[in-house]
Amino acid sequence: MPGRRVVGIGANGQLGTDLVDALDRWDLVPLTHGDIEICDYPRTQRILESVRPDYVINTAAFVRVDACEEQVEQAFAVNAFAVRNLAQVCAGLGSALVDVSTDYVFDGKKREPYTEEDIPNPINVYGNSKLAGEHFVRAICPRHLVVRTSGLYGRAWSHGKVESFVETMIRLARSGKSIRVVDDQVLAPTYTRDLAEAMAVLLAEDAHGLIHVTNRGACSWYEFAKAIFAIAGVDATLEPSSSADMGRPAQRPAFSVLARAKPEEWRLAELRPWAEALREYLQERDTPSDE
């Protein structure tokens, strides 16, 4: 929007790339990790003070869930203390801080969609570090918006350090390897383009507080993988597995579907079903670029 300056941190990541497109009418300053290191408080302060944004959107995070169990200090440095840095700087500038959080702040025991009114109870280091970041944002920065989401995938997967689940499944299938995927963890997979467009609406509405935003519906990771192969037309040897049998370092919530307690708030329409979004992503993924 004219007159409103937005800094987008993590601009070349999965979500950040789509946010750059979704906010094309805004006065956007996209920053990559090479431009800003949010763990470096003095540098972060200097950069943001020079830009003096109305909004700062932080999509940077340490998202390797299993690695967080071993690299606890790094997880909290990026997901919590660096977010505290941003909250302090934004509070001093009077800027609004928008931070992206996760469904993994919940323990999964509820067995029905979690709303913003439910009390978080993370069961792994990643979830705890992200929840700590949420607390810093809400306690320090008067103007803030925390957006929780889940199961992100998007077109910029190849630019980041972490491959999305969709791309991992396709890569493994084409390698001819047998694939085992858990069928006892349920989520709402979310296309970053849909999330980015929703966040643009929230900014235009000057939304604040805490909100859950995901594509509609739910599935297990196994059902998600089946849909990927069916839509992409990829042959795969896919088998269901339990979380216990997979033996991953980090425990995951068995059910982490998110819902909005007030779906009519901020004029944000419910996002389309996850399978519809996945279909569009896979179709566009295989469409040759004109560039």
Give the global pTM.
0.95
How far is the C-alpha of 216 from the C-alpha of 205, rounded, in Å? 21
167 in any annotated domain? no
Of 104, 126, 222, 281, which is the active-site residue? 126
228 in any annotated domain? no
- Whether 126 is catalytic: yes
* Domain tally, the chain: 1
Q: Which amino acid is at 7?
A: V
31 in any annotated domain? yes
181 in any annotated domain? no
How far is the C-alpha of 99 from the C-alpha of 61, rounded, in Å? 10
Domain that holds residue 149: 5-162+189-217+257-271
44 in any annotated domain? yes
Tokens of 143: 């103007």
CATH number of the domain residue 132 falls in: 3.40.50.720
Q: What is the pLDDT along the chain (291 residues), one digit of tens a residue?
A: 546 899 999 999 999 999 999 999 999 999 999 999 999 999 999 999 999 999 999 999 999 999 999 999 999 999 999 999 999 999 999 999 999 999 999 999 998 999 999 999 999 999 999 999 999 999 999 999 999 999 999 987 544 456 899 999 999 999 998 999 999 999 999 999 999 999 999 999 999 999 999 999 999 999 999 999 999 999 999 999 999 999 999 999 999 999 999 998 999 999 999 999 999 999 988 765 554
61 in any annotated domain? yes
How far is the C-alpha of 258 from the C-alpha of 54, rounded, in Å? 28
Residues in a beta bridge with 5: 27
How far is the C-alpha of 273 from the C-alpha of 158, rounded, in Å? 25
Say whether 26 sits in a helix, a strand or coil: coil
Residue in the block written with tokens 């920065």: 141
69 in any annotated domain? yes
179 in any annotated domain? no
